[in-house]
Chains A and B, each alone.
Chain A
Amino acid sequence: MSKLTWRNSIIAGVAVTAFTLGSLSANAAGRLKAPIPDWTGGAVTCKVVQMILENELGYKVKAITMPSGAGVYEGVAAGDMNYACESWPSYSSAKDKMITKFGGDGSVAYMGSVGIVGVSSYYVPRYFVDEVAPDLKSYKELNKYKKHFATIETNGKGRLIGCPTPAWECDDQKRLDLLGVDFIASELGTETAAWAEAQAAYDRKEPFLLYAWEPHWIHAKLDLVSIELPAHNADTWPATGWAEDIPFNYGDPVSMAMDGPNADAAHLLSNMKLTNAEQAKMVLAIDVDGREIDDVVGEWLDANESTWRKWMK
C-alpha cells in the first residue's frame, strides 16, 4: 500500500508540474517545419534558407533531423513538414509518385532548382592512378586492372561499389555488362555504407572503384579521380554516363503555395540559387576544417548580401 501511494504521488506531481510548464510555451506565429538533410551539401543549402527565413522574414523554423529518403516526402505530402531543400532527382524515386513535373499525383509541389549541378561518375583513388595505373582514364582500361579490384566474392572479376539501392535507378550492373567491363556491381544498401567502405579502403591505400557524384563532401576527404564514361544518351541508357542532376526544393502544395499564407518563404525557396563552387567551399570548411555550420553559413550570408537579397522578391 505504501509503495503505491508513494509512486502515485510522484506521478501526480510530475504531471501537474509538466502541465503548468507546458502551458507556458505557447505556439508562436509564422512557424515552419523542415527536415535537416543528412549530407553536408544539403545541410548548407537548407541552413542558408533557414537563416534568411528566420533573420529577414521573421519565421521560426523547426528543423527536424531525419534520414533523407521517402520518409521526408511522406512527411511533406502529409503536411507535417512545410518544405524540404535540395532533393536530388536521381536519388528520390518518391518524386515520380508525388511531384506532377515527374509524373506524380501532385501531393508534393516542385518549388524550383537549387542551382547546383550534379554530375555522377565512377571514381578511383588518386594514389592508385599515380602508383599503379597511370593510363587508367576511362572505362575502357578498367578490365586491364580488374584483378586489383577483385575480392573473394567476385570470382576473379573486379568489384564496383555501386549505387547503394535500386531506388536510385543507376543500373550499374547493366551498364558494366553493356560496356563490356568485367566488374560486379555491389549494392551496399545505404550511401553511408559506400562512403564507409571507401574511407576504410582509402585509409589502407587499397584500390577501389566507387560510384559517387560532385559536388559531394566525400571529395573533401578523399582525393578521387573520375573515370570517363560515354556521354549521356537517353536512347542507349544505361550504356552511358549520367545526365546532369539538377537538385530542387519542394514543399507542401497548400501551406507553401506561391500565393498562400507563407508566400514570401515560398518565393525564397523557388528563387534561391547556389553555385557548385559556393556550396563546395562551405562544405569544405565544415567537413575538413571542422567548423560549425552556423558560423560558416553566417559568414557567407554576410559576405554575399547582394546575392541573396535578389531571391526575396
Chain B
Amino acid sequence: MITTLDTFRNRISSKNLLIYALTIAGLIASIMLARSVDEPSALPLWISEPFQFAEWINGAEDWLKENFRWFTRMIASGIEEVLYMVEDFLILSPWLFVLMLLVLPALAFGGLGLALFTFAGGLFWGGVGMWEPTMQTLALMGMAVILSIVFGVLLGVLSSQNDRFESILKPILDTMQTMPAFVYLLPAVFFFGIGGPPAIMATMIYALPPVIRLTSLGIRQISHETIEAGESFGASRLQMLFKIKIPLSLPSIMMGINQTIMMALGLVVLATFIGAEGLGSEVWKAIYKLRVGWSLEGGLCIVFMAIIFDRLSLAIGHGAKNAHSGSGIRFYLFPQSWDIKPWAVGIEYIIGFIWNAIGGFMNMISLFIASAIDQTIGRLHRSFAAAVSRFIRHHLFFVGSLLVLTAIIVVDNWGPGIGEFPEAWAFSFREPVDQAVKWLTVNPAFIAFTKGTRAVVYLYMLHPLDVFLTQLPWYITITVLGFISLISVGRNFAIVCVALLMFIGACDLWAEAMLTLSSVLVSVFVCLIIGLPTGILAAQSPRFDAFLRPIMDAMQTLPSFVYLIPVLMFFGGNVVSAVIATVVYALPPIIRLTTLGISQIPITYTEVSSSFGGNMLQTLIKVKIPMALPSIMLGINQSVMMALAMQVVTPLIGGGGLGREVFNALNTSNTGAGLASGIGIVLLAIILDRLSQAWTQTQRDALGV
C-alpha cells in the first residue's frame, strides 16, 4: 500500500500539468454542479433519521442527572467553601497587601520591569473601579488553575509512564480543547450549581490539556544518559520519578502551566453565563447595555491580568533572575533606541538608583534581624538560632518581602489604614471611548469603507463559497476531502476523515458544517491578506515590530465580547461581521509566525541572493517567503484553530453554521443538540489541523529543514 502511494506521489510531481488540468476541470464541474441545484445538500433521510444522536445524549444526561448528582454536588460544595474563603480573603484584605502578593513574586522572578508592570496593572484595576470584580476573577481563575495543575501534573506523570494510557488520553485532550464551552455550560449548572464551582469545572475542562501534555512531554524528553546514570546508582522507579524526572522536566511543566493560565483567562466572560461573578459579568453587563467603553475597561483588566500571569509564569519557568541582589545592572524602562535621549537615561538611572538603595536597605535590615536572632536566641539554643539566621541570610528577598507585607498590615491596623483602593486615584475612559465609537458609527467616510468591505467580502468571497460548499452534493465533498487526506496524510487518516464527515452528515448538520467551514476559510484568507504583509514589515523593521507586539498581546487576551458590539455597529449584524470579528481574533499568530519565520532565515541566504543582483523585492519573494513558509504554515494552522474556536462566539452578532446551532441549543437547554454541533466543530478542527500540519511537514521536507 505504501509503495503504491509513493508511486502515486511521484506521479503527481512528474505530471504536474495533467494534475493541474484535472483539478481545474474538476473544480469547474463541481461549481456547475453546485450552481445547478438551489438547496443545501444533506445526507439521505434513511441515514440521518434513525441516527438520533441528540436524543441518545439527552437520555444519557437524564440518567447521569438522576444517579450522579449527589456526587458532583458534594465536590461542588467543597470547591465553593474554599472559593469563598479565597475570595473573601482577597476582597477584605487591604488592596496594597494583595497587590504586593503579586508584585513581590514578579520582582523576584521577573525583575523590576515586570514588577512595575504588575504594579501598574493593580493601579489600573483599582483606578477604573473594578478592584472587587478583579479579585473575584482572580480567586476563580486561581482555583481553576491550581486544580488544573494538581490534576494535570498527576495525569501527565501517569501518561508519561504508560504508552497505552497516553494513546487513550490524547484524543480526549484534543476534544477537551476544541469542544466549545457553551456545550457543557448548562449541564455544569445542574451538576455543580450556580456561580463559582461550575465555572471552575468548565474552565478546567478547557484549560487542563496543556499541563498534561507538557508534563508528559517534559518527562519523556529526559535524555537516556541521565536515566541510565540514575539507574546505575540504584534509584528505584519512584525515586527516579520524583528525584530525577520531575525536577528535570520542571521548565516544560511550567510552560504547560503558562498555557493553562492563558486558556483559563479566555473563559472569564463565558463563566458569567452560569452566574460566576467578576470581570466577566462587568463586561457582559456593559455589552448588554451597548456601553463599549465600560466593556473595554473590564476587558483591559483581563488583558492586564493575562499579561502579568503570562510573564510571571514564564519567568518562574526560566528561574529567578536574582533581581533582588541589587547587583547594579542597569535598568531599562524605555526602548534602547531612546538611549540617546538624556531625559530617558536620567529617569532610568533614578529608578535604578532608588531601586538599588531600597535593595541595599532591605538587605541591611534582614542582616540586622539575622544577627539580632543570632545574638538573642543564640544564647538559649545555639544550633536553632544558627539555622534561622542562615536561612535569613540565604533568603534575603523572602525576608524582605515578609517585612513589606508585615509593614502594610501594621500600617493598616494601627496606622492611618489602607483599606480600599483610594477613590482619588480613580480614572475612567468610558465616555471618550463611547464618543469615539459613536463618532465612527456616523462618520460617512468610515461607514463607506465598512460598507465597501462588507460588499467585497460578502459578494466575492463568502457568498460564492457558501453556495458552493453547501450545495455541492455531500458525497462529492466527502470523496474530495477523503482523497486529499489520503495523499497528504495517509490511509488511516483518510478513513477517519470520511467517518467523521459522515457523522456530521448523519446528525443532519451537513449544511451548517459547510457554512462554518466557509466562514473559517474566508476568515483565514482575510487574515493572510492582512497578516502576511504586516508580518513581513515587522520582520524588516524592529521598530514596527516593537510597536505591534503589545497590540497583538492585547488582541489575543482581550475577550472577544468586547469588540463584538463595535464590529456590529460598524458592519451591521450579518455573516460579514462574524468574519471581521473572527479575523480580529485569529490574526496575531499569522503575523507573529511570519515575522519569526523571516527573521530566522540565516543571513547567508539573503546575502547570496543580493550578491547575485537580486533586489529587495526579489530577495523577499524568491528567498525569504519560501524559506519562511513552514513557519507561516504553522501560523495558518493556529489561525484556523482560533477561527474555529471563534465560530461559537460569532452567533452573538449574526454568524451562522454550527456555532449558531450550539448557541440555539444553549438557549433551549438541549444538551444533545448542542453536543452534536459541538462535535461537528471538533471534527472540523481535527481534519483541518491534521491536513495543515501535513502540508507544513511537506514544506519542511522540501526545504530540508
Using a CB–CB distance below 8 Å, which chain A residues touch chain B?
A: 2-3, 5-7, 9-10, 14, 17-19, 21-25, 33, 35, 38-39, 64-67, 69-71, 73-75, 77-78, 80-81, 93-94, 97, 151-153, 161, 165-167, 186-190, 192-197, 199-200, 203-204
Q: Which of A33, A200, A203 has the most CB of B within 10 A?
A: A200
- Contact between chains at B669 and A3 (CB < 8 Å): no
- Looking across the interface, which residue of chain B has its beta carbon closest to that of A66? B275
Choose from B285, B570, B664 the contact partner of A38 (Cβ within 8 Å): B285
Choose from B273, B654, B669 the contact partner of A193 (Cβ within 8 Å): B654
Q: A2-B394, A71-B185, A200-B441 are in contact. Are A66 and B668 (CB under 8 A)?
A: no
- Contact between chains at A196 and B185 (CB < 8 Å): no
- Contact between chains at A94 and B290 (CB < 8 Å): no
- Contact between chains at B290 and A74 (CB < 8 Å): no
- Contact between chains at B275 and A166 (CB < 8 Å): no
- Assuming A22-B84, A67-B284, A190-B651, what are 5 further A-B pairs, CB within 8 angstroms? A14-B101, A21-B85, A38-B288, A192-B288, A200-B568
- Contact between chains at A167 and B667 (CB < 8 Å): yes
Q: A14-B101, A65-B272, A70-B669 are in contact. Are A199 and B85 (CB under 8 A)?
A: no
Residues of B434-483 at the interface with A, using a CB-CB cut-off of 8 Å, are 438, 441-442, 447, 454-455, 458-459, 463
- Contact between chains at A6 and B273 (CB < 8 Å): no
Q: How many residues of B contact A (CB 8 A)?
A: 66
Report the bound CA distance from A5 to B668 in whole Å: 51
CB distance from B449 to the nearest CB of A (A): 14
In the A-B complex, the 4 residue pairs with the smallest Cβ-Cβ separation, listed nearest first, are A22-B85, A70-B669, A200-B569, A18-B89
CB distance from B541 to the nearest CB of A (A): 36
Q: Is B190 an interface residue (CB 8 A)?
A: yes
Report the bound CA distance from A80 to B77 in whole Å: 11
Q: A14-B101, A64-B195 are in contact. Are A203 and B663 (CB under 8 A)?
A: no
Residues of B72-118 at the interface with A, using a CB-CB cut-off of 8 Å, are 81, 84-86, 88-89, 92-93, 101, 105, 108
Using a CB–CB distance below 8 Å, which chain B residues touch chain A?
A: 81, 84-86, 88-89, 92-93, 101, 105, 108, 185-186, 189-190, 193-195, 272-275, 277, 281, 284-285, 287-288, 290, 319-320, 394-395, 397-398, 401, 438, 441-442, 447, 454-455, 458-459, 463, 564-565, 568-570, 572-575, 651-655, 660, 663-664, 666-669
Choose from B89, B185, B190, B564 the contact partner of A14 (Cβ within 8 Å): B89
Report the bound CA distance from A277 to B171 in whole Å: 57
- Contact between chains at B438 and A203 (CB < 8 Å): yes
- Contact between chains at B275 and A65 (CB < 8 Å): yes
- Contact between chains at B573 and A74 (CB < 8 Å): no
Q: Which of B108, B398, B668 has the most CB of A within 10 A?
A: B668
Contacts of A33 in B (CB 8 A): 194
Report the bound CA distance from A192 to B88 in whole Å: 33
- Contact between chains at A25 and B88 (CB < 8 Å): yes
- Looking across the interface, which residue of chain B has its beta carbon closest to that of A9? B398
Choose from A18, A94, A204 the contact partner of B442 (Cβ within 8 Å): A204
- Contact between chains at A65 and B285 (CB < 8 Å): yes
Report the bound CA distance from A75 to B397 in whole Å: 48
A-B contact pairs, 14 of them (CB 8 A): A3-B319, A6-B398, A64-B195, A71-B669, A93-B668, A153-B574, A165-B663, A165-B667, A187-B654, A188-B573, A188-B654, A192-B290, A196-B290, A197-B572
- Contact between chains at A152 and B85 (CB < 8 Å): no
Contacts of B194 in A (CB 8 A): 33, 64, 66, 75, 78, 80-81
Q: A22-B84, A197-B568 are in contact. Are A97 and B669 (CB under 8 A)?
A: yes
Q: A25-B88, A73-B669 are in contact. Are A38 and B458 (CB under 8 A)?
A: no
- Contact between chains at A192 and B575 (CB < 8 Å): no
Contacts of A5 in B (CB 8 A): 395, 398
Q: A189-B652, A203-B438 are in contact. Are A70 and B574 (CB under 8 A)?
A: no
- Contact between chains at B455 and A69 (CB < 8 Å): no
**Chain B residues touching A, majority SS:** helix
Choose from B86, B281, B654, B669 the contact partner of A94 (Cβ within 8 Å): B669
Report the bound CA distance from A75 to B195 in whole Å: 10
Contacts of A81 in B (CB 8 A): 194, 275
- Contact between chains at A64 and B277 (CB < 8 Å): yes
Report the bound CA distance from A165 to B413 in whole Å: 54
CB distance from B95 to the nearest CB of A (A): 15
Q: A93-B667, A186-B573, A199-B290 are in contact. Are A65 and B284 (CB under 8 A)?
A: yes
Choose from A7, A9, A19, A193 the contact partner of B573 (Cβ within 8 Å): A193
Q: Which of B288, B290, B664 has the most CB of A within 10 A?
A: B288
Contacts of A70 in B (CB 8 A): 186, 666-669
Choose from A10, A14, A69, A188 the contact partner of B667 (Cβ within 8 Å): A69
Report the bound CA distance from A196 to B195 in whole Å: 28
Choose from A3, A18, A188 the contact partner of B320 (Cβ within 8 Å): A3
- Looking across the interface, which residue of chain A has its beta carbon closest to that of B69? A78
Contacts of A17 in B (CB 8 A): 89, 93
CB distance from A95 to the nearest CB of B (A): 11
Report the bound CA distance from A195 to B287 in whole Å: 11
Q: Which of A19, A33, A71, A161 has the most CB of B within 10 A?
A: A71
- Contact between chains at B275 and A71 (CB < 8 Å): yes
Report the bound CA distance from A255 to B559 in whole Å: 37
Contacts of B564 in A (CB 8 A): 193
- Looking across the interface, which residue of chain A has its beta carbon closest to that of B438? A203
- Contact between chains at A35 and B667 (CB < 8 Å): no
Report the bound CA distance from A65 to B287 in whole Å: 13
Q: A25-B88, A80-B189 are in contact. Are A66 and B320 (CB under 8 A)?
A: no
Contacts of B663 in A (CB 8 A): 165, 189
Report the bound CA distance from A194 to B320 in whole Å: 51
- Contact between chains at A75 and B458 (CB < 8 Å): no
Report the bound CA distance from A212 to B313 in whole Å: 48
Choose from A19, A94, A196 the contact partner of B569 (Cβ within 8 Å): A196
- Contact between chains at B84 and A189 (CB < 8 Å): no
CB distance from A82 to the nearest CB of B (A): 11
Contacts of B454 in A (CB 8 A): 152
Report the bound CA distance from A18 to B272 in whole Å: 24
- Contact between chains at B575 and A94 (CB < 8 Å): no
Contacts of A64 in B (CB 8 A): 194-195, 275, 277
Report the bound CA distance from A33 to B442 in whole Å: 43
CB distance from B11 to the nearest CB of A (A): 44
Report the bound CA distance from A284 to B574 in whole Å: 30
- Looking across the interface, which residue of chain A has its beta carbon closest to that of B397? A6
Report the bound CA distance from A189 to B463 in whole Å: 20
- Contact between chains at B572 and A151 (CB < 8 Å): yes
Contacts of A7 in B (CB 8 A): 105
CB distance from B319 to the nearest CB of A (A): 7
- Contact between chains at A193 and B653 (CB < 8 Å): yes
CB distance from B252 to the nearest CB of A (A): 17
Contacts of B572 in A (CB 8 A): 151, 197, 200
- Contact between chains at B189 and A67 (CB < 8 Å): no
- Looking across the interface, which residue of chain B has its beta carbon closest to that of A75? B194
Report the bound CA distance from A59 to B574 in whole Å: 46
Contacts of B668 in A (CB 8 A): 70, 93-94, 167
- Contact between chains at A2 and B395 (CB < 8 Å): yes
Choose from A65, A192, A199 the contact partner of B652 (Cβ within 8 Å): A192
Report the bound CA distance from A196 to B287 in whole Å: 9
Report the bound CA distance from A195 to B652 in whole Å: 12
Choose from B193, B441, B455 the contact partner of A204 (Cβ within 8 Å): B441
Choose from A71, A186, A197 the contact partner of B189 (Cβ within 8 Å): A71
- Contact between chains at A189 and B85 (CB < 8 Å): no
- Looking across the interface, which residue of chain A has its beta carbon closest to that of B444? A204
Contacts of A9 in B (CB 8 A): 398
Report the bound CA distance from A189 to B647 in whole Å: 12
